Amino acid sequence: MKVDRLVSIIMILLDKKRIGAQELADMFEVSPRTIYRDIDAINMAGIPVRGAAGVGGGFEIMPEYKIDKKVFSSADLSTLLMGLSSLSNIIKGDELIHTLTKVKSFIPDDRAKEIELKLNQICIDVSPWKGNSNLQTYVEIIKAALQENKVLAFEYIAHRGISTVRTVDPYQLVMKSSHWYLQGYCHRRNDFRLFRLSRMSNLQMQEETFALRDYQKPTLDVTDILEALQTKIKIRIHKSVMDRVLDYCTYEDFSPAGDEYYIVSFPFIENEYHYDILLSFGDKCECLEPKHIRAEMKRRIHNIANLYEK
């Protein structure tokens, strides 16, 4: 049972007079049975939630109840504020500001300094150092389209730089590894696709609405898939690029090769992306084996050199 879901349900019940079990289940993508268990847990925590049957029924906090600020520990409040504050760096909107204000209202005066200290011990900022200035605008357009079930249209730079025009039914806004993605049903492909926002241009919300389809969330944890595809190659690097190579492997993959160099067991897939990674290290990296990857690197470097010969 997730504490964040319980806290979210409490906040919703405080904000709304009454809400049904099915509506909560849809909101958190769990079963109604799970919601009933959550309500029991909230009641056991000392917050009286009652249920009303029939049309217009649902759950509500008893009107005369005033929530005790001591329900949340300092650690609870610090965690909530940390998560909400990190979201505020990338998602703008009055609803988030209102939620932050509500959570801060639970902080007792005698614990304010303690909670502020804990909050400042960890900073989570997933926004890029520098990026596409349109991203925040695009996020807001997609959020509006998600709320209103409106179709989106945009130009998209796909694999190998191919430019296409897409119309998409939006289903989910995803942030993965500091990049925004849109998961939606693509009319061009007649299937669900994941689109990176930084590769979009001329994003517009259409007047056309769409009916929801059966939807499966995208697979975001691809660790097992990558491990099945990856092989280890042997590269020799200069110590000056060690920090960058460590973005793709661990210290255990390094073996000293003199004072200035390391031999690295480097995870590699034979595709454009991974060849570009090796090329990005410039003359500070040499592929030693296998021979066919070394030969391919030599061919690509030769083509780059020819480009500058012309």
| Banded pLDDT at 16 (limits 50, 70, 90) | low
The confidence score (pLDDT) of residue 1 equals 42
| Banded pLDDT at 286 (limits 50, 70, 90) | very high
In this prediction, residues 189-195 reach a mean pLDDT of 93
The confidence score (pLDDT) of residue 46 equals 73
Mean pLDDT, the chain, integer: 83
The confidence score (pLDDT) of residue 268 equals 95
Confirm if 9 and 42 have CB atoms less than 8 A apart. yes
In this prediction, residues 1-21 reach a mean pLDDT of 73
Higher-confidence residue: 76 or 284?
Answer: 284
Report the share of the chain in percent with pLDDT over 90. 43
Of 13-17, 175-179, 205-209, the poorest mean pLDDT is in: 13-17
pLDDT tens digits, 228-268: 889 999 999 999 999 999 999 999 999 999 999 999 999 99
283 φ, ψ (degrees, to nearest 5): -80, 10
**Which class would CATH give 135-209?**
mainly beta
Interatomic CA distance for residues 273 and 84, integer angstroms: 34
In this prediction, residues 133-149 reach a mean pLDDT of 87
Sequence ranges of the domains in the chain: 3-67, 71-120, 135-209, 224-309
The confidence score (pLDDT) of residue 159 equals 77
Sign for the CA dihedral angle at 190, 196, 201, 205 comes to positive
The confidence score (pLDDT) of residue 113 equals 80
The confidence score (pLDDT) of residue 256 equals 95
The CATH classification number of 3-67 equals 1.10.10.10
In this model, does residue 68 exceed pLDDT 60?
A: no
The confidence score (pLDDT) of residue 171 equals 94
In this model, does residue 70 exceed pLDDT 60?
A: no
The confidence score (pLDDT) of residue 280 equals 95
| Banded pLDDT at 133 (limits 50, 70, 90) | low
Question: 3-67 and 135-209 share one CATH topology?
Answer: no
The confidence score (pLDDT) of residue 208 equals 95
Instruction: Convert the chain into a string of H (helix), E (strand) and C (coil).
Output: CCHHHHHHHHHHHHHCCCECHHHHHHHHCCCHHHHHHHHHHHHHCCCCEEEECCCCCEEEECCCCCCCHHHCCHHHHHHHHHHHHHHHCCCCCHHHHHHHHHHHCCCCHHHHHHHHHHHHCCCCCCCCCCCCCCHHHHHHHHHHHHHHCEEEEEEEECHHHCEEEEEEEEEEEEEECCEEEEEEEECCCCEEEEEEHHHEEEEEEEEEECCCCCCCCCCCCCHHHHHHHCEEEEEEEEHHHHHHHCCCCCHHHEEEECCCEEEEEEEECCCHHHHHHHHHCHHHEEEEECHHHHHHHHHHHHHHHHHHHC
pLDDT tens digits, 17-65: 688 888 888 888 788 888 888 888 888 777 788 887 777 778 888 766 6
pLDDT tens digits, 75-88: 776 776 766 666 65
